[in-house]
Structure 1
Amino acid sequence: MIQIRRASIADVDELLSISQLTFVQTFGPHNTEQAIKTYLTQNLTLEKLATELVDPRAQFFVAIDNGQMVGYLKVNEFGSQTESGLSNSLEVQRIYVLKKDQSKKVGQELMKLAIKIAHELKVNYVWLGVWENNTKAITFYERFGFRKFAIHTFHMGTHPQNDLLMKLIM
C-alpha cells in the first residue's frame, strides 16, 4: 500500500535521485545526451532541491511503497510558482513517479492530494505545465479534469520545446 507523507530536508538525496531518473526517462529519448546533462546540472541539483524544500510557499510530499520512495509531489502557492500572474491558484510543479511504479496508482494518489490542498487553500484553480510530447501525462491530467489554457516555450539545450499549461477549475 502506498503511503504519502510530507517531505523533509532529510529526503533531499532521494528526491534528487527520483527527479533526475524520471527526467531522463521522460525527456532522454527525445533529446541529446548533452542537452539532458546540461539541464540536470542547471536545474535539478541538490542545492536547488534543498532551497525548494525550505520555501514556505512550496510543499513536497513523498510516496513510499514497502519502505522505498517511489515518487513525489511538489506544489507551489502564489509567489513561488514558475509562471507569473496566476494569482489565487496552486501550481502542481512536479508529480514524479518512477517508471517501474507507475502502474501502482501513485500518481493518482499524489494528484488527489494536490487537489485536496487546493480545496483547503480555497484557490480558484490548480494548474500545471506538461511537455506537449508527454501524451501519457496529458491523458492522466485530462482524466482529472485539467484543460489546456496556454503554451509555454522552454529550451532543452538549444532546442525550443513547448509545455502545455493546463488548469482545473475548483
Structure 2
Amino acid sequence: MRSTIACRPGSTARSSRRKRPRSKFVGFARPVRPEASRSDALTIRIARPSDAAILAAISIEVWLGTYIRRGVNAFFADYALSEFTAARFFALLENPKEHIWVSENEDGLDGFIRVSEGQVAPIADCSTTEISTLYVQPRHHGKGIGFQLLKLGLAFARQSGSTSVWLTTNSENAPAIGFYLRQGFEKVGTTDFRIQDQAYRNDVFKRVL
C-alpha cells in the first residue's frame, strides 16, 4: 500500500483489441526530461505547482478506491488526509529529485506518474530510481493512460542514466501486478508498507532499462 499503483493503472489487459492512444515526446524541460506527449484525446505534460491540489485529490480517490473497499474508518481517513495534501505535492514539485507528469483531458487531470531519484530500494541490486506513484482515475482505466505515463517515466529514467527502475505495490493488488509484469517488470522481493504500527506486505518489482 506504499505509494503504490492504483488498481488497474491504465490497464492494458484488453489491449490486444483496443488501440492505444498514440503519443510522442515533443520536448525536454531540463536536461533529458520529457516535457509532454500528445495523442488524439490524451495530453501528458509536466506537472505544475497549480496542479498540487488536483494531484492530492486524485491520490485520495485512487488510494481509497483501491485499498479501502469495505468502508472507510478513522484510521485510514486520517492517513489519507494527512498524506495526500496540496502542500505535500507542492513540496514535491519544488524538489529537483522528484519528477511528476500528468495526464490531462479537456475537463481536467485524470492521472499522473511520479519518478523519484535518489531512493534506496528495500532490495539489493536495484537502482536509486523509483516509480513512486502511478495513479489513474478508475473511470479512465482501459484507455492506455497508465501505459503512456509509464512509457514516459521509463524513457526519462533511461535518458537520465538509470540502468533500471524499481517500484512497490500491494501484494494483493493483482491487477496492478499483472500490469507491471506485462510491461517487463519482474518481482525481486517483498517489503512492508507501514501506517503507524500496522504493516502491509508489498511486492518489489524491478525493470532493467
- Shorter-chain TM-score above 0.5: yes
Q: Which residue of 2 aligns with 1:130?
A: 169
Q: Which residue of 1 aligns with 2:206?
A: 167
Q: Which residue of 1 aligns with 2:27?
A: none
Q: Which blocks of at least 5 consecutive residues in structure 1 are unaligned?
A: none
Q: Which residue of 2 aligns with 1:29?
A: 69
Q: TM-score, normalised to structure 1's length?
A: 0.90
More off after superposition, 83-92 vs 133-142: 83-92
Query: Aligned-pair RMSD on alpha carbons?
Result: 1.9
Match for residue 152 of structure 2 among 96, 113, 131 = 113
Match for residue 101 of structure 1 among 124, 140, 158 = 140
The alpha-carbon deviation at position 158 of structure 1 amounts to 4.4
Answer yes or no: is the 8 Å Cα contact 2:120–2:128 preserved in 1.
no
Q: Residues 3-152 of structure 1 correspond to what in structure 2 (within 5 A)?
A: 3-29=43-69, 33-78=73-118, 81=119, 83=121, 88-152=127-191
**What is the letter of the counterpart of residue 101 of structure 2?**
F
Residues 74-119 of structure 1, C-alpha deviations (whole Å, 9 max, x = no match) = 00011xx264677744210001000000111100000100111121
Q: Residues 103 and 58 of structure 1: is their aligned pair in 2 closer, same or farther, counting only changes over 3 Å?
A: same
The alpha-carbon deviation at position 159 of structure 1 amounts to 3.3
Residues 102-154 of structure 1, C-alpha deviations (whole Å, 9 max, x = no match) = 11110000010011112101212011111111110000000011011121112
Match for residue 154 of structure 1 among 193, 196, 199 = 193
Q: Percent identity?
A: 24
The alpha-carbon deviation at position 30 of structure 1 amounts to 5.8
CA distance in 2, matches of 1:54, 1:129: 24
**What count of residue pairs does the alignment treat as equivalent?**
168
**What is the letter of the counterpart of residue 4 of structure 1?**
I
Q: Give the structure with the larger helix fraction.
A: 1
Answer yes or no: is the 8 Å Cα contact 1:2–1:63 preserved in 2.
yes
Q: Residues 30 and 168 of structure 1: is their aligned pair in 2 closer, same or farther, counting only changes over 3 Å?
A: farther
- Max Rg structure: 2
Answer yes or no: is the 8 Å Cα contact 2:193–2:199 preserved in 1.
yes
More off after superposition, 84-93 vs 137-146: 84-93
Residues 21-76 of structure 1, C-alpha deviations (whole Å, 9 max, x = no match) = 00111111167522321221332122221111111001010101224200001000
**What is the letter of the counterpart of residue 93 of structure 1?**
S
Answer yes or no: is the 8 Å Cα contact 1:38–1:157 preserved in 2.
no
Q: Which blocks of at least 5 consecutive residues in structure 2 are unaligned?
A: 1-40
**What is the letter of the counterpart of residue 17 of structure 1?**
A
CA distance in 2, matches of 1:124, 1:31: 41
**What is the letter of the counterpart of residue 168 of structure 1?**
R
